[in-house]
Structure formats: structure tokens, C-alpha cells
A and B are shown apart, each in its own frame.
Chain A
Amino acid sequence: MNDIALGQYVHKNSIIHSLDPRTKFICLLILMISIFLIPSPADYNPKISFIILGGFALIILIVVILTKISPLKYLKSLMQVIFIVSFVFIVQMLSKPSDETSLLDLNIKVSIIKIIIILTVFVLFFVFRKFLHYKLILFITLLVLSTYFLTIDFGKNLFKETPILHIYKYGLYKGAFFSLRILLVIMLSTVMTLTTKPTDLTNAIEWLLHPLTFIKLNVSIFAMMISLALRFIPTLFNEANKILKSQASRGADFKEGHLKDQIFQMVALLIPMFVVSYKRAEDLADAMEARGYIPGERRTKLNILRFKFSDYLTFILCVGIITGIILLRVL
């Protein structure tokens, strides 16, 4: 039941874990920027672009190994973006660079009738997928079949025919490059969330936002808000689960029924949730006030962040990487 705890911190004894959260945060930013600064293969030598990207992949792989966390955890977070990545890949692949001969001609002819037919098939699939087995295989089969359907030539009398789609060599390069780039960035941020405790993260954010005090923004209140949210989200989630069950035992049905009924059922969940959260907030405010918390007042800290030698080393490495990339772009 504890899979809802915010932040998927995994406790291990590794170099990456022992780094200061601020180091991790800043280095994450630096590396992210450097990855986005790698010249795209479309307007540079594609070989070099891919070599640099490969270099980053290698660095990240080493970091992942250093964290001692099971690679499955990383795969899980990559799976969450798989759709975005494939979308980026397809769009980039089909885009047409300035002057380039096509690598592969897919003889696709798009007409309104074809689109309507394909859309109906997919809508039907999604409507009835509850009752279907082997959904993924079926989905892929449908995808292949509809692509094939698009390539069939029905003659000119079936509405207007639109241009043929091409796949270009550089399009393919770009597609691969951009989707890899996203995957690497996701990997980096996963390293961060898997190896940093939520409390440390809040502390790091508070420290990094410190300059904002000059524009009269109270950073410590903001940090307190984040840490309270981290503390109470699992509690409130359990509460929601409990209310859901008690309404279900009163016959509430959050899944079936008309839309109107469903909205009404949601009210039966939301109002108690609101009441409970309000009560908790009130109690919490009392408890905090009684323990001497005054918003914005100066407070000492139990968790003090200190930079160590390894932190400086990591900084130097990351700065080295970004300078290299910038130099490459400028020269």
C-alpha cells in the first residue's frame, strides 16, 4: 500500500547517494543543458553528434551503475515516457530537410474516406477493449494493417489524393537523436529522484531559491509548504482510499452508471475529502503554532548541507563537460 509515497527514494550506500543534494540538483541542470546543446545531426556532422550523445549515454550508464539501484527501476521510469518518445521519433522522421533525396518512399495516399475508416476501427477498438484479450498484439496488428490500407491505391475517383510521405535519411538521424536525447534527460532526473531523500531535496531547493529573498519572497515558508505536502500526501491518499471504501459499502459505484451518476458519486468522495483535509490542516496549524512556529521567522536547521571533496570534483567534471560542448558549438 505504500507505493504512493512521494518520491521513489531507494536507500543504498553509494557515492551518488552521498553527494550533496545541491550538487546533484545543479549538476542535473548543467548536464541537461549540455545535452540540449549537442549540435543536431541535421546541421552538423551526424557522426560527431552521435558520438557525443553516446559519450553522454556512457557517463549516465556509469552513474546508474554507481547508484547500485536495480536497473528495473530506471526502466520503469523510461516506460512512462515511451509514448512521447515514439511520437517525437515519428514526427522527426517524417519531417523534410531542405534538399535531400528520400531514403524510403512509403507510397501512402491519404483521403478522407480512408481516415474515417481507420478512425472508426480505432475508436471501436478503444470502446471494446475491455472485452478483448491480447490488447497489445491486437493494437500493433491494427497499426500495421492500417498502414497497409493507406498504401492501397483505390484509383482517383475516391476523393482527393494527397502527397506521398517520404522517410529521409537525415529525418531518421534526427528522429533517433531527439528521442535518445529525451531518454537521457529522463534517466538523469531519475538518478536524482532515486538517490535523494525528499527532505534533502526540499533543503536543496530552499538553498537554491535563496537569492529570491532579495525580491521579498519568503523562501523558508515555501520550503515548509513543500515538506508538509511531502508529509501529508500519503496520509491523505490513505484517507481517500478509506472514504472510497466506505462509500462503496453504501452502494456507491465509481465506475459504472451514467455520467450524471458518476459525477454525483465523485461528490460523495470529494466533499468528505475536503472536510477531512480541512480538519487536518486546522489541527496541524494548531500543533505547529503550539510548537512555536512563526512563519518567516529565523530558524536553525537539523539538516545542514555541506559540500565535500566529491561534490567539488563532480562540479568540476560537469563544468568541464558543458564548456567542451559550448566550445564545440562556437568553433
Chain B
Amino acid sequence: MKIKLDNVSFSYNEEKVISNLNLEIESSSITAIIGHNGSGKSTLAKLIVGLLEPKKGTIYLDDQVLNEDSIKIFRNKMGIIFQNPDNQFVGVTVKDDIAFGLENKNIEREEMIQKIHKYLKLVGMEEYIEESPENLSGGQKQRVAIAGALSMECELLILDESTSMLDPLGTKEVGETIKKIKNEDNKTIIIITHDLEEARLADRVIVLNKGKIVKDGTPKEVFSDENILINSGLKTMDSVKIINDLKNVDYKNKKEIEAALWELTFKM
């Protein structure tokens, strides 16, 4: 799904959260939006999926204006995963939770069952189909949420800080799941995070600070611009920091070490 934001502004009460934002996201791409807590990145996500309405400016999805009428059509094409795994688990069991979205979409029962199995298998949660949320870990709940969004055959998937409340294992699980979807479908994926490790999965990284885009480029471009990242309340990857720190120092095998560190930045 192609997304275009034209001069969009949003404010809670008096506080401006998003100001005059212009942004275009190509269809079938993976984009990471990074920024510190309170930089407006979650608000941006809610604007795109139509949970909030911009105070100023227009949002276009597939060249169509997003408004109260068109949102009903777009709703079925977009999925969003939120931060708190507990608060988005609607069903009493895993299978009921995935069915929730499908029921809203008025899918017939047989097709529903088939889809539940298919997408639970994709996220590796098939054996938990009858489990209730109290017995699942945070990472497992997020995987169920991802399966729920995928089962709607969404064209756009937004992960809104979906790992920030998880333990390392959960983070890893969700990361693996994203990698899997990335390879299987040509979906438009937006990863919203303050964790650069997660942003590595993207083709394009956008840095948001005080509701404005301060940097936009490939992961390599963004990661190496340490000043921008620090000014935006973020931190670059350790490997990149080492390269930058030692830029003006001479040491043995400088070229090879730099190359190896860059390679490792995206591999590890």
C-alpha cells in the first residue's frame, strides 16, 4: 500500500506532536520510523491507520484521501500491532482472538478456521490454539497479534513498538517473525521503534524528533550519522559507534576492521 502524508499536523490539547509532516512510503517496502519516547512516532502510526484524525493536512492511501468514508474500506487492508501485548488480546483463547478480526470482516466459518490454522502456523503458534492469554508469554501474545493482522490479508502492517515491553527472548521471537513475513509476502511494513537493532530489518529508516523528520535514508546512512541520533535521544549501534570513534585514529587493519564491523552491524 502506498502512503503519502501531505503537510500533516496533529496536536493533543495545545501540545504539537506532529508538525507539518511530509512523507511518502512506497508500496511493498519496509520502513523503520525511529525516535525517542514522545517524539510523535506512535501518533504518526495512529494517524496512518485512521485511529486519529489529522488537525491539518491530508493523508493519502493508494492515492485516495483517508477520511471517515474511505477508512471503512482501508480498515481491512491495514493491521497494527501495539506496544502492550495484553491490551490488544481480545479473545478468551488464541483462536478466538484471531477470529475477532475475521468475524468483523464477515468471513465464513470454514474459511475462518482454515485461516486461523494457516497464520498460526506461520508465526509458529499452532500448538497454542486453545490456550488462554494468561498462559502465554509477552512474545507469544505479540505473535498471535501478528497472526491476527496477517489473517486479515492486510497490505500494510505497522508494528508500533511491539517489542519494547518484551524480554530478550520475546524480542527475538517477534524479530524472527518479522523476517519471515518480509520474505513471504510483498507487504508494506512499517516498524516503529527506538531500538536500532530492530530498524536494521528495514530498507529505509526515518528519524523523527519533536514531530518532524530529521533524517531519512538507508540504515547505513542513518546509523553513521551519530549526531542526529544523539540529538534525537537515540543511540547508534555499538559497532558503528566504534567506527566513528576511531575515525581519526590510525590502527592496524583499519580498512578490514571497518568493513567487518559494517558487515556485522547488519548480520548479528
Q: Measuring CB to CB, which residues of chain A are less than 8 angstroms from any residue of chain B?
A: 2, 5, 198-199, 227-228, 230-231, 234-235, 238, 279-280, 283-284, 286-294, 297-304
- With a cutoff of 8 Å between Cβ atoms, the chain B residues found around residue A294 in the complex are 104
Contact A283 B87 (CB under 8 A): yes
Contact A300 B79 (CB under 8 A): no
With contacts A283-B84, A304-B109 known, is A291 near B93, CB below 8 A? no
With contacts A291-B101, A292-B75, A293-B104 known, is A302 near B96, CB below 8 A? yes
* Residue among A199, A228, A238, A292 with most chain B CB within 10 A: A292
| Interface membership of B148, Cβ < 8 A | yes
Give, as a whole number of angstroms, the nearest-CB distance from B99 to chain A. Answer: 4
Q: Which of B51, B109, B116, B134 contacts A286 (CB under 8 A)?
A: B51
Contact A302 B99 (CB under 8 A): yes
**CB nearest neighbor in B for A235:** B86
Contact A302 B103 (CB under 8 A): yes
Which residues in window 58-104 of B have CB below 8 A to A? 75-76, 78-80, 82, 84, 86-93, 95-96, 99-104
**With the chains together, A292 CA to B74 CA distance in Å?**
10
Interface of A, helix, strand, loop or mixed by DSSP: helix
Contact A287 B88 (CB under 8 A): yes
Contact B96 A199 (CB under 8 A): yes
Give, as a whole number of angstroms, the nearest-CB distance from B54 to chain A. Answer: 17
Q: A280-B86, A292-B75 are in contact. List 20 more A-B contacts (CB 8 A).
A: A198-B92, A228-B90, A235-B134, A280-B87, A284-B87, A287-B80, A287-B82, A287-B90, A290-B49, A290-B51, A290-B75, A290-B79, A290-B80, A291-B104, A291-B152, A299-B106, A300-B102, A300-B108, A300-B112, A303-B96
- With a cutoff of 8 Å between Cβ atoms, the chain B residues found around residue A301 in the complex are 103, 109
Contact A291 B100 (CB under 8 A): yes
With contacts A290-B51, A302-B99, A302-B102 known, is A231 near B92, CB below 8 A? yes
- With a cutoff of 8 Å between Cβ atoms, the chain B residues found around residue A228 in the complex are 90
**With the chains together, A301 CA to B104 CA distance in Å?**
9
**CB nearest neighbor in A for B98:** A302
Annotate B27-54 by CB proximity to A: 1 below 8 A, 0 otherwise. 0000000000000000000100101000
**With the chains together, A294 CA to B76 CA distance in Å?**
12
**With the chains together, A228 CA to B100 CA distance in Å?**
12
- With a cutoff of 8 Å between Cβ atoms, the chain A residues found around residue B149 in the complex are 291
- With a cutoff of 8 Å between Cβ atoms, the chain A residues found around residue B46 in the complex are 286
- With a cutoff of 8 Å between Cβ atoms, the chain A residues found around residue B93 in the complex are 199
Contact B101 A292 (CB under 8 A): yes
- With a cutoff of 8 Å between Cβ atoms, the chain A residues found around residue B108 in the complex are 300
